[in-house]
Chain A
């Protein structure tokens, strides 16, 4: 005979089963955003939190799952997709979708959504902040003051003016265009590379990144990570950028050949870097810790409470749209 507590739980479960199901695909340590809001509308299937072992859990639920909520960069590959034959949509919680096999999803007719523009303003703000910090040496001079060196050693070496610089934006998407708008207010000149030229933008377009680098004083990397863009910032690009050149990366670590970047920085072959992302987070190449012309950030370009709130709206908006057969809010187009 079930105890009153078990009856209550069973009662809850009975109610929940009437709600649309969402499978939570989550690698630790990432957490489900807006869980309390989701629980009001949806039945959340969480393999990790179930008392059932995973294979039993999947046997129970996998056939009927139509939507996966993919938390953070938890990978969604063919093996994952194989588990859910009825899957129709993967709802992502990040701006980047390089952890999701888009080609495979497209082949199976599965839509994918991302965080859309929820983070774009914050990432653009951060990119400008990193550029300023590197060019004007703020991080290093802050350390200088805190070490008590100002009274002892006098003035800190001069930084470099932001205005008048040519800033090459790699990837003129929703983040890139916002970076451009901000830097124009600092009297920078903007140039860009993107998959395709954007006729409505008034900035000079370069078909490849080395050509862009040759004309730029700094590169800001804002593009998506795909097979085509992996290590797009390589030695050729760094050589073209030159010894005074600066690289700011707010995209994905693997967009930059990190080993080469470290070498170029350590050898003084490049002017400096502001990096929010790395190839193997949270590991950061230790050689960078001793460099004064580098600013390091722990993947925080998106991190404000307001952008996380905006993300919640996008995630819930996409889920609502899916279950009411309406157009998805931030569907990722497949190439």
Chain B
């Protein structure tokens, strides 16, 4: 009996050892902090990649990196991990950064270029969902759907009678700030509601049939609403400022599905509180997950916790894309959604 029990033990250890060895043969991917949904990703792709997980260690990040990441060539991150030149210096072996976001403002791209580090992002995987959210928030604000839901739930329909009127979508001039893959999907949807589309972008796009305005201020002057769809960078930081909001006017609506830092948030809160803007639909904020508390009191604002990109379906699509980019890298093939590709 004892003999057979003890003969099992080495078998168990052997099994575990073999699983570990298998894992260790897999290409390594460094993850400093887990992107949203990482657990699902890890379960799905544990047979393809070995994840080197910094946050699970009790070591300081510097010690962890010098002990465990010196030979790792790929880094997986989300918009929540700042990939600075400092970080890149600590992991000189990194040759690829895969980010789960469409935005790139968290990555020092200049440093990547200098070091010849390739970068892959989420490509168009989110564009439709983000565009859906932009249009949905726009309808919500103009037609007061969310605030009327609140009205009903508070029992006010029976007490106070009819809720106030909203505003028609048809014929509204909607200024799209940033005519990229998201901006073009927003335009396509809003045309079905008979809105008039205008846009601002870094450069006029020759094949886009809508009126172009060279500055956001001029766009705002000619618009009933602005939908922010552009990237956040040094040029676009606080681009939507008090001048733009004044140009948009008291009947103007702002929808932001891009990055909080594109809008001067403090000014926007002031404009909304003072009734200098008709309303706002906001999925992003300057200092997430903190949201200015003054907005909680306002009926004409719809708040969303940076979820524009995230439907279950796009999330699965994202997982597939991240894995495909990593596999391409490890087998020396071109990246699927390169921002820059030095391979």
Contacts and interface: CB of A to CB of B under 8 A. Distances in A.
Nearest to B148: A297
Contact of B128 (A29, A139, A163, A297): A163
A190 to B, nearest CB: 12
A185 B148 contact: no
Interface stretch (A16-24, A42-50, A125-133, A202-210): A125-133
Contacts of B121: none
B304 A141 contact: yes
A158 B143 CA distance: 24
A304 interface: yes
B206 interface: no
Interface stretch (B12-20, B52-60, B165-173, B258-266): B165-173
11 contacts: A122-B170, A132-B136, A138-B140, A138-B304, A145-B305, A181-B192, A282-B158, A284-B157, A295-B146, A297-B149, A304-B143
A58 B158 CA distance: 33
Contacts of A187: 128
A145 B305 CA distance: 7
Given A126-B145, A133-B136, A144 B193 contact: no
A239 interface: no
Contact of A132 (B132, B158, B305): B132
Contacts of A282: 157-158, 161
B102 interface: no
A129 B138 CA distance: 9
B189 A186 contact: yes
Interface residues on A, range: 35 or more
Nearest to A290: B153
Contacts of A128: 139
Contacts of A130: 145
Nearest to B317: A161
B132 A186 contact: yes
Most buried by A among B289, B291, B314: B289
A327 interface: no
Interface in B274-309: 288-291, 296, 302-307
Interface in A268-286: 281-284
A304 B166 CA distance: 5
Contact of A126 (B143, B149, B170, B313): B143
A187 B169 CA distance: 20
A150 B305 CA distance: 7
Task: Sort A-B residue pairs by CB-CB distance and give the 3 closest, nearest first.
Answer: A132-B136, A185-B192, A129-B139
Interface string B171-200: 000000000000000001101111000000
Contacts of A121: 168-170, 194
Interface in A289-303: 289, 295-300, 303
A199 interface: no
Contacts of B304: 138, 141-142, 145
B239 to A, nearest CB: 24
B311 A159 contact: yes
Given A133-B136, A298-B163, A159 B168 contact: no
B151 interface: yes
Interface of A: 29, 121-122, 125-126, 128-130, 132-133, 136-139, 141-142, 144-146, 150-151, 154-156, 158-164, 181-182, 184-187, 281-284, 289, 295-300, 303-308
Interface of B: 36, 128-129, 132-133, 135-137, 139-140, 143-146, 148-149, 151-153, 157-158, 161-163, 165-170, 188-189, 191-194, 288-291, 296, 302-307, 310-315
A149 to B, nearest CB: 9
Given A155-B307, A300-B148, A300-B166, A138 B312 contact: no
B139 A141 contact: no
A161 B311 contact: yes
Given A159-B310, A185-B191, A304-B165, 17 more contacts: A125-B139, A125-B168, A125-B193, A132-B133, A133-B136, A139-B149, A141-B307, A145-B291, A155-B306, A159-B307, A164-B313, A186-B135, A299-B162, A300-B144, A303-B163, A305-B167, A305-B168
A184 to B, nearest CB: 7
A286 B51 CA distance: 49
B140 A133 contact: yes
A297 B145 contact: yes
B193 A182 contact: yes
B146 A296 contact: no
A298 B155 CA distance: 10
A129 B153 CA distance: 18
